[in-house]
Amino acid sequence: MKEIFYVELPTPESSTVCTWLQQQWEPALGQKIITPDGILLQIETSNTSNQNPTANDAPIPEISIFVWSVQRTTYLKAFRWGDKALQGEGKILQQLETALRNQFPYEYPEPPVIDLSQQSIFEALAPHYPKTVHFFQKMPNGEYDLNRVYWWEKQWREGVRNPQKPRQVIFKSPTGANDASTSFSAPEYDLIYIGGALGVIHAAVMAQLGYRVLLIERLPFGRMNREWNISRDEFQSLIDLGLFTPAEFESVIAREYIDGFNKFFDGNNPPHLRSAVLHTPTVLNICLDSEKLLHLCEHKLKRAGGEIWDETQFMRAEVTSDRVVVGVEHLPTQTERKVTGRLLVDAMGTASPIAWQLNGSRAFDSVCPTVGASIAKGFEPEVWDSNYGDVLYSHGDISRGRQLIWELFPGAGEEITIYLFHYHQVNPQNPGSLLEMYEDFFTILPEYRRCDMEKLVWKKPTFGYIPGHFSVGSRDRIVAFDRLIAVGDSASLQSPLVFTGFGSLVRNLHRLTDLLDTALRHNLLTAKDLNQIRAYQSNVSVTWLFSKGMMVPTGRHLPPQRVNAMLNTFFGLLADEPLAVADNFIKDRVSWLTFNRLALKAARRNPALIPWIWELAGAKDFFRWLGSYFSFTGNAIVSWLLRDWFPKLVRSCQPWLENRNPALWLRLLAQSYAFTAGMGRPERPRREESVVRSNQLNELPRPNLTKS
């Protein structure tokens, strides 16, 4: 038997496809015979009676066509006996594909418009997403969380479909503290953070340096819609910064496991494009108790004099020459309030209206719609060993225009957190749906890990849109405005492979806080100054083409096994390498030499890889990537020449240069980090440096806040 046709049909109704194939489709040639899962097509030939069914040059004149379902998607294959094509075979298959595409086109369902004053979220969504409603009803705070899912999706869709006309929330005003209309004599805070997940980590570090910090959070503080995993060496940077002690770090570890697996479905790949399991024992192998971590940061922030206003929504900000005036609304009481600060920090994540306003249509180039849940217990012991995790895993081919990927991270006791996501090109027609993904998640979880869904004890859902930005250079994204800067997902700060904004922030936290501390101490808070405070990495910008190759363009029909074949090509190479190579690649530390060596090996193993990427990315993005690559190459050469002596020279100039020309000092310091952290070689802060800097801050006079 030889496979001659394989397609993915974007419908979960496999029985409907089978019925259409058996009863409605009329082939151009041959006689149709109904089989249990499809049809057998017998084709008359001139020498049928003389054929030897065991000879490859005389195939049986039959084509077997059948359908099956996995991942809430229908797949269809056709086989014939023998290697030689049958007479009229191409015509039959072309006719079949055309008819299938017309009968079962891509559809992108919209969430229903609902009125929660008339019905509950469960009642409103049950006809459209029955499994999602059923299992959210089993979760503590399930109704509240499902409302959040719906809100996120509506917000995301609105932003994607109106990228040229983002809602204006940042306003520039020439007035300052000397203006008679200003009711504040001086800003109340140095830093106002909007967003309490990643924001509280950054805020706690800055508060411990002596700054007056306010954190504003839309939700009750400590509620997380995503769990955090990291490795010991990455978290060490938070210890080095003085935010945590080693004992505190150990106290927030929910689980440390032995190994993490990376494997992609290869049942439909040719033998040379199948790969072994990639083992990554030091990637995301520490599962953190995220709520405990957040509350520990809360304690440290408040102990350092900071404040938190939770259940408070950001409305707008007015930037003047000497302050930013932030308007917020306390949601439980629906009362509005204004607060002033020297600098506003946007940590609102994907849905940040500030990020949309600053960057317009280039706010994000891609996104990972991600859903999942923390499950307290219910998996049988033989299903999964909690000493291991799944970092990246797929159990099927392209599903309704998406390559679905799983992550599984064991937590404390029997707890397991599971995510389902896909890499997605931002498209107004098809923005990406959390609700559709949740319906997939609750339907196909038993396909991924055998379980009785009704026996699982659900702890909480985990979900969100994780954005990506394809940087060609270090200045092609706006991360700052006068007296405003973005961090975390608002700045599209994440790894292009696993899209972990938490890990990326932690890896770059020393760099970001050192630069921001310098800017604040010298009142260098214009957009020009603040735009230098970014976590751009040249080695990361060149890897965005990798994630681009995992995105199925909206409306395109690719061979279903295409994305898995690409993933197996590259992960197969990493599996053949020493463990350190994969570790560095996933943790954004890949060097220029390693990147090029792996790229050449991938091209040799799979010569079709470049044409495949061209087909997926298109000429425009392929040439954009070449710009990223040439920039990476140039930066690698400059870094190789300067990285061993330039940062030391810059630091040696600090005592006399910083006070004489602080703007130049900030520029040189940012450039110094670009040659180290910007190339995947982060500098480790020494604990004593943080203490000295905090003492210096307390001894320095505050900037004159009554002058512009």
Amino acid at 307: E
- 420 plus 475 within the same structural domain: no
- 181 plus 36 within the same structural domain: no
Going by C-alpha positions, the residue among 662, 550, 705 that lies closest to residue 612 is 550
- 337 plus 444 within the same structural domain: no
Beta bridge partners of 417: 374, 409
Span of 16-20, 130-134, 233-237 with lowest mean pLDDT: 233-237
Residue 402 vs residues 306, 393, 420, 610: alpha-carbon distances, Å? 44, 14, 11, 20
In a domain, 705, yes or no: no
CA 544, CA 535: separation in Å to the nearest integer?
Answer: 15
- 214 plus 242 within the same structural domain: yes
> Under a CB-based contact definition with an 8 Å cutoff, are residues 545 and 617 in contact?
yes
Containing structural domain, residue 26: 2-103
In a domain, 631, yes or no: yes
* pLDDT over 80 (residue 478): no
In a domain, 704, yes or no: no
- 66 plus 193 within the same structural domain: no
In a domain, 349, yes or no: yes
- 480 plus 540 within the same structural domain: yes
CA 46, CA 421: separation in Å to the nearest integer?
Answer: 52
CATH of the domain at 620: 3.50.50.60
Confidence tier at 702 by pLDDT (50, 70, 90): very low
Instruction: Find tokens 């910008």 and name the residue.
Output: 541
- 84 plus 186 within the same structural domain: no
End residue of a domain, out of 564, 586, 608: 586
Confidence tier at 390 by pLDDT (50, 70, 90): very high
Span of 43-52, 478-487, 595-604 with lowest mean pLDDT: 43-52
CA 304, CA 300: separation in Å to the nearest integer?
Answer: 6
Residue pLDDT, tens place only, 534-555: 877 777 778 777 777 788 999 9
Containing 233, the helix (H) or strand (E) segment is helix 232-240
- 208 plus 329 within the same structural domain: yes
Residue 369 corresponds to which tokens in the numbers above? 């719609």
Span of 264-268, 319-323, 412-416, 497-501 with lowest mean pLDDT: 497-501
CATH of the domain at 7: 3.30.310
Residue pLDDT, tens place only, 586-595: 888 889 999 9
pLDDT of residue 48: 46
> pLDDT > 90: what percent of the chain?
62
- 409 plus 531 within the same structural domain: no
How many residues are present in the chain? 708
Could you give the number of structural domains in the chain? Answer: 3
> Under a CB-based contact definition with an 8 Å cutoff, are residues 339 and 318 in contact?
no
In a domain, 450, yes or no: yes
End residue of a domain, out of 54, 69, 103: 103
Residue pLDDT, tens place only, 506-522: 888 899 999 999 999 99
In a domain, 109, yes or no: no
Of the chain, the end-to-end C-alpha distance in Å amounts to 79
pTM as predicted: 0.87
In a domain, 280, yes or no: yes
- 338 plus 372 within the same structural domain: no
- 203 plus 158 within the same structural domain: no
- 155 plus 267 within the same structural domain: yes
Residue pLDDT, tens place only, 85-94: 888 899 999 9
In a domain, 562, yes or no: yes
Question: What does 653-668 look like in DSSP terms, one character per residue?
Answer: HHHHHHHH-HHHHHHH
> Under a CB-based contact definition with an 8 Å cutoff, are residues 364 and 350 in contact?
yes
Going by C-alpha positions, the residue among 294, 313, 324 that lies closest to residue 189 is 324
Span of 177-186, 380-389, 596-605 with lowest mean pLDDT: 177-186
pLDDT of residue 698: 45
Instruction: Find tokens 């930005």 and name the residue.
Output: 469
Burial of 671 (C-beta count, 10 Å sphere; 0-12/13-18/19+): middle
